[in-house]
Amino acid sequence: MTELLPPIELTPPDIAPYRRGNTGIDHVTTLDGGRPGPHAVICALVHGNELGGAVALDRLFRIGLKPNRGRLTLVFANTAAYRGFDPERPYASRFVDEDFNRVWSPDVLDGPRDSVELRRARQLRPVFDAADVILDLHSMTADTAPLVLCGQTVRGRDLGRRMGYPAWIVADEGHAAGRRLIDYAGFAEPEGDHTAVLVECGQHWREETAVTALESCLRFLLVQEMIDPAWAEGILRPHDDPQRVVEVTEAITAETDTFTFNAPYVGMEIIPRAGTPLGRDGARTVVTPYDDCVLIMPARRPKSGQTAVRLGRLVP
């Protein structure tokens, strides 16, 4: 089956100039604010085909961003996958051997298993161990409104709120298949002072997605009081959409390889009535379990055993 590819509006930036960095780890650069403050880490390319974050970090370097306190570390994560990006096969370079965003538990990182992604994760682990706060930049397959994934901590949700953008904040539990970076170690502990959020900045290859990624970086740094608000205002666009918080309640897992949705959902649709059919999975009709059910990041073509869509409730 041939499938129409979405337009590739973004050009993958040349990240070779950032390879040497200044930390002894390839593609990791720390900018010193010269005064005490938090250690903030912004991470792009956890998924090798998600170009928006890389474009945003390249912009930050080019505009000569310097924090005015603390330390800011900029990370291009899965550079091996990124090197394989091919606009003719843009989905293929998400990872080399395995999903880089499912390996972030100590037992996996300390374990005997080996892969391109695990080697890189073990290299980067000290960076995240030394971080107070992490912004992880991602993007999505569908043309979905940007959203913050804040995990389950109050701290993550609060950081999303203080950033004030994107308009959707999604509190979720992560994936059974393995831990995400934002769920690593102290970042997911209910108590503590380490905070991590992930921003899904829009569709992988849209120009707008890179703009959202850059704005997310600046808003994240404003919350950390690491950049000058007046300077940032010259770059940021005004957003007055009120933020809404969704708590993920469940995942719909495909039981067959023929799961199909009844409509071309892209995510963040609010389905008013409980019992509304969403799609078919073999002989099963999948329906919404409650009123005002929010659809979160429906999968493009879920296979048996994979998450087809997650469902969430709006919370005050």
Catalog residues that contact Zn ion under the rule CB under 5 A: 47, 50, 138
C-alpha to C-alpha distance for 183 and 172, rounded to whole angstroms: 10
Residue 41 exposure: Cα atoms within 13 Å on the Cβ side: 28
Cα distance between residue 209 and residue 201, in whole Å? 5
Instruction: Name the helix (H) or strand (E) containing 241.
Output: none
Cβ proximity to Zn ion: between 227 and 248 the closer is: 248
Nearer Cβ to Zn ion (47/179): 47
Whose CB is nearest to Zn ion? 138
Least distance CB 234 / Zn ion (angstroms): 29
Question: Which are the contacts of 163, defined by CB distance < 8 A and separation ≥ 6?
Answer: 148, 197, 216, 219, 220, 222, 223
Closest CB 46 distance from Zn ion, rounded Å: 6
For residues 67 and 151, which CB has a smaller minimum distance to Zn ion in the complex? 151
Among 312, 301, 189, residue whose Cα is nearest residue 249: 312
Q: Which residues contact 111 (CB under 8 A, 6 or more apart)?
A: none
Output 43 or 271, the one with its CB closest to Zn ion. 43
Minimum separation from the CB atom of position 174 to Zn ion (A): 13
Cα 291 to Cα 307: distance, rounded to the nearest angstrom: 21
Residues in Cβ contact with 71 at an 8 Å cutoff, skipping those fewer than 6 apart: 30, 31, 32, 33, 37, 38, 39, 40
C-beta of 207: minimal distance to Zn ion in Å? 18
Residue 91 vs 231, nearer CB to Zn ion:
91
Buried residues in 242-257 as b, exposed as e (16+ CB within 10 A) = ebbbbbbeebbebbee
CB of 136 to Zn ion, least distance (A): 8
Q: Minimum CB separation from Zn ion for residue 264, in Å?
A: 21
Nearest to Zn ion of 65, 150 (CB atom): 150
Q: What is the DSSP letter of 105?
A: S
Of 171 and 293, the one with the shorter C-beta distance to Zn ion is 171
Task: Tell me, rounded to whole angstroms, the distance of Cα 187 from its chain centroid.
Answer: 15
Distance in Å, CB of 49 to Zn ion, minimum: 9
